[in-house]
Amino acid sequence: MKPKIAIQIYKSRLVLSKEDRGFQNRPVLKWPDHIESSTAKIEDSCVRFISSLDFSTTESFANSEFFVALDYHPETKIPKNQFYDDLDEVSFNSSNLSRFKFDIFEFEKMTSDQVNLFFNGTNWGVPKRQSFQIASLSPNSPVRIKINWKSDFSFSRGKERQFYELDYIVEFKGIFETFLRESTKTETFLKDIQISNCKEIDLRKILN
């Protein structure tokens, strides 16, 4: 199996009304010290994951370069509905390409100790942002990224404008070769969030 870049992402998404717009009225979000995760735990030279399918035995996984675990903030996670589906998940690229798009990001492998992190151009509304590099990631040095949009009236069909506040913690955990599927008895992992160690990158804009 090809060694893989392992990425941990924590995500929060707030959908706000116009009364909550502007920096002064935004809700104060606090990340917990730890969460119960149903995706994967990346530590001790091993990635343990929870899945109904053991994808670690497939050829596409064996040839992949990236493995990503995504966990939502438990207090802001939106249940599945017609607009949103905040699902915790694990994902991997199904090829040996050195770049991988996931969520609003794109990861580029540079060396075993460096992964470049880009915004991939996916926009939830306005302002429209083009692709750009956000940071250069090194192992176990997480970055916290805040970004916002407001809904575009051209797509809202007269509905009240909404404001989207996204807050991510992105961490390059290192290069891993061992991936183990947990037994069906395992439902969650306890995962610590090192929020105090994060470099913060605030990409938010004042939206009227």
Q: pLDDT tens string for the chain (208 positions)?
A: 899 999 999 999 988 887 766 556 667 789 999 999 999 999 889 999 998 778 888 889 999 999 999 999 998 887 765 566 788 999 998 777 889 999 999 999 999 999 999 999 999 889 999 999 999 999 989 999 999 999 876 554 667 888 899 999 999 999 999 999 988 778 899 999 989 999 999 999 988 7
Domain extent listing, the chain: 4-202
Contacts of 159 (CB under 8 A, 6+ apart): 151
pLDDT of res. 154: 54
What are 168's strand-pairing partners? Answer: 11, 145
Distance between CA atoms of residues 90 and 9, nearest Å: 10
pLDDT of res. 15: 86
Distance between CA atoms of residues 110 and 51, nearest Å: 29
Distances (CA, A) of 107 to 41, 96, 139, 165: 20, 13, 14, 22
pLDDT of res. 1: 86
Query: Is pTM, for the whole model, over 0.85?
Result: yes
